[in-house]
């Protein structure tokens, strides 16, 4: 495949002050790429900004601002991490999700189209599948999201395919399962407020910031009765984005990929691992099942492995939990 004129050009990371975006910036900087971050700090943090990247504070729905950034910095590709991503909140306030995730991205894509930026990498999610009909879940599984958060991401995926037909902009939609862990150097990590993810919640218990953690149901049809999820280390996610961007730069066709390991861990297994690594008892309270939680969510990630050669390197549970523990202890 022929290397395009945009290969190696500066990258715009939208949402680069957030959890996953900041790890992406770190990976791009380490690879010698020039990076511009656009973030409105709605859920991001200045402390997660990488000093080697240029930071612009603003919203990706500000089309004039985005056009200026794309032109001034000769941006070759955009990686889009910015979104509202609390499933429960999306049910309470769907309009917020369609506004922030969909309408703002429409403006971002309009700016890219008018300036002629050729590549786009989207943070998508396993939530586009909805209730799994079979596991592990392959990309060909029907997409029937069960909440507005998943619907906005599914709509974006469709939109990207339609924009490509109209303008030739190529894209990669990367459907993450459960992002977890932190950078091995301990300088950046997960910081959501409110926190809704299992591993940081358990670690907050270990740090004495919460009295106990809640387990939603131990009567699921799984080996130990608790829900099973596929955890993927945030640095493995960043590596996957890097190979996806490089593939686009080499001329690869647009594609949709699951990012997971194909191996599930149960909630109780995660809790045991957190107890062992933090040497803290981590008390839990078991309550009833939560509506809408599937029993098992595990990816079939064969497609990205065979197309792009991506293989997760740090996604065993011990590495994930130790890196998260290291980050939370340092930032507590
Ligand atoms: N964390 C997970 O397990 C997970 C799983 C699947 C998909 N995702 C997706 O990955 C992406 C990143 O997730 P995260 O966990 O890092 O979230 P995060 O909240 O830490 O990061 C999102 C960043 O985007 C910024 N932002 C939000 N709306 C913006 C806007 N309109 N303009 C500019 N900046 C804006 C926020 O300030 C924040 O810095 C999201 O798109 C999310 O839907 C996350």
Enumerate the domain spans of the chain: 11-179+231-259, 198-229+262-331
CA dihedral 158, 163, 164, 169 (to 10 degrees): -120
pLDDT tens digits for 108-167? 999 999 999 999 999 999 999 999 999 999 999 999 999 999 999 999 999 999 999 999
Q: Hey, is 84 helix, strand or coil?
A: coil
Supply the DSSP symbol for 51.
T
pLDDT at residue 15 is higher than 60: yes
pLDDT tens digits for 246-289? 999 999 999 999 999 999 999 999 999 999 999 999 999 999 99
Confidence grade of residue 3 (pLDDT, cut at 50, 70, 90): low
* Ligand 1 site residues, Cβ closer than 6 angstroms: 14-15, 17-21, 38-44, 59-61, 81-83, 85, 100, 104, 123, 125, 176, 178-179, 192
pLDDT of residue 332: 78
Helix (H) or strand (E) holding 96: helix 94-97
Confidence grade of residue 1 (pLDDT, cut at 50, 70, 90): very low
Bridge partners of 173, per DSSP, are 122, 256
Confidence grade of residue 228 (pLDDT, cut at 50, 70, 90): very high
pLDDT of residue 331: 86
Supply the DSSP symbol for 103.
I
With 0-12 / 13-18 / 19 or more C-beta atoms within 10 angstroms meaning exposed / middle / buried, residue 1 is exposed
pLDDT at residue 70 is higher than 90: yes
Confidence grade of residue 292 (pLDDT, cut at 50, 70, 90): confident
DSSP string of 198-214, one letter each residue = HHHHHHHHHTTSSS-EE
Average pLDDT score over residue span 80-88: 96
Catalytic one of 149, 176, 231, 265: 149
Distance 81 CA to ligand 1 centre (A): 5
Confidence grade of residue 312 (pLDDT, cut at 50, 70, 90): very high
CA distance 278 to 283: 13
Fold assignment, 11-179+231-259: Rossmann fold (3.40.50)
pLDDT at residue 38 is higher than 60: yes
pLDDT of residue 49: 98
Which residue's CA is minimally distant from atom 32 of ligand 1? 59
Concerning whether 129 is annotated as a catalytic residue, the answer is no
pLDDT tens digits for 180-207? 999 999 999 999 998 889 999 999 999 9
Confidence grade of residue 290 (pLDDT, cut at 50, 70, 90): confident
CA distance 9 to 144: 36
> Could you tell me the CA-to-CA distances from 293 to 147, 195, 285 in Å, in that order?
11, 17, 18
User: Are 145 and 158 spatial neighbours (Cβ–Cβ below 8 Å)?
Assistant: no
Query: Of 243, 273, 248, whose CA–CA distance to 259 is shortest?
Result: 243
DSSP string of 233-298, one letter each residue = EHHHHHHHHHHHHHHHHTTPPPEEEEES-S--EEHHHHHHHHHHHHT----EEEEPPPTT--SEE-
With 0-12 / 13-18 / 19 or more C-beta atoms within 10 angstroms meaning exposed / middle / buried, residue 288 is exposed
Confidence grade of residue 7 (pLDDT, cut at 50, 70, 90): confident
Which residue's CA is minimally distant from atom 29 of ligand 1? 82
The yes-or-no answer to whether 11-179+231-259 and 198-229+262-331 have a common fold is no
Which of 13, 15, 64, 189 for mutating ligand 1's site (highest number of atoms within 8 Å of CB)? Answer: 15
Which residue's CA is minimally distant from atom 2 of ligand 1? 179
pTM of the model: 0.97
Distance 324 CA to ligand 1 centre (A): 18
Average pLDDT score over residue span 28-55: 98
> Could you tell me the CA-to-CA distances from 232 to 33, 213, 291, 298, 312 in Å, in that order?
24, 21, 24, 11, 8
pLDDT at residue 6 is higher than 90: no
pLDDT of residue 35: 98
User: Are 324 and 330 spatial neighbours (Cβ–Cβ below 8 Å)?
Assistant: no
Query: Of 122, 123, 124, 118, whose CA–CA distance to 170 is shortest?
Result: 118
pLDDT at residue 19 is higher than 90: yes
Question: Which two structure tokens, joined as six digits, stand for 259?
Answer: 């990012």
Average pLDDT score over residue span 70-86: 97
Question: Which two structure tokens, joined as six digits, stand for 165?
Answer: 């037909």
Distance 84 CA to ligand 1 centre (A): 6
- As assigned by CATH, the class of the 198-229+262-331 domain is alpha beta
Please, what is the average pLDDT of the chain?
96
Which of 16, 41, 43, 65 for mutating ligand 1's site (highest number of atoms within 8 Å of CB)? Answer: 43
User: Are 10 and 71 spatial neighbours (Cβ–Cβ below 8 Å)?
Assistant: no
Distance 14 CA to ligand 1 centre (A): 9
């Amino acid at each position: 495949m022929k290397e395009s004129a945009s290969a190696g050009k500066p990258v715009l990371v939208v949402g680069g002050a957030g959890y996953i975006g900041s790890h992406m910036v770190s990976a791009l900087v380490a690879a010698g790429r020039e990076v511009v971050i656009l973030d409105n700090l709605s859920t991001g943090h200045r402390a997660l900004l990488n000093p080697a990247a240029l930071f612009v504070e603003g919203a990706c729905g500000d089309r004039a601002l985005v056009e200026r950034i794309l032109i001034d910095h000769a941006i070759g590709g955009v990686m889009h991490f910015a979104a509202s991503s609390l499933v429960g909140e999306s049910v309470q306030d769907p309009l917020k999700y369609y506004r922030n995730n969909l309408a703002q991205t429409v403006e971002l894509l309009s700016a890219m189209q008018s300036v002629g930026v050729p590549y786009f990498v989207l943070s998508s999610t396993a939530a586009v599948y909805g209730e799994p009909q079979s596991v592990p879940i392959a990309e060909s599984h029907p997409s029937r999201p069960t909440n507005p958060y998943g619907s906005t991401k599914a709509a974006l995926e469709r939109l990207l395919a339609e924009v490509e037909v109209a303008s030739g902009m190529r894209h990669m939609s990367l459907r993450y399962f459960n992002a977890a862990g932190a950078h091995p150097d301990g300088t950046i990590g997960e910081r959501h407020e409110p926190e809704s993810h299992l591993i940081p919640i358990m670690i907050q218990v270990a740090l004495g910031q919460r009295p106990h953690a809640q387990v939603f149901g131990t009567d699921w049809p799984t080996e130990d009765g608790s829900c099973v999820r596929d955890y993927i280390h945030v640095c493995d996610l960043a590596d996957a984005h890097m190979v996806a961007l490089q593939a686009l730069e080499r001329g690869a066709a647009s594609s949709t990929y699951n990012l997971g390991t194909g191996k599930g861990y149960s909630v109780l297994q995660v809790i045991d691992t957190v107890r062992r690594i933090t040497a803290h008892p981590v008390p839990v309270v078991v309550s009833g099942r939560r509506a809408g939680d599937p029993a098992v969510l595990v990816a079939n990630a064969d497609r990205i492995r065979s197309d792009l050669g991506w293989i997760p390197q740090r996604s065993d549970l011990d590495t994930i939990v130790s890196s998260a523990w290291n980050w939370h202890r340092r930032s507590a």
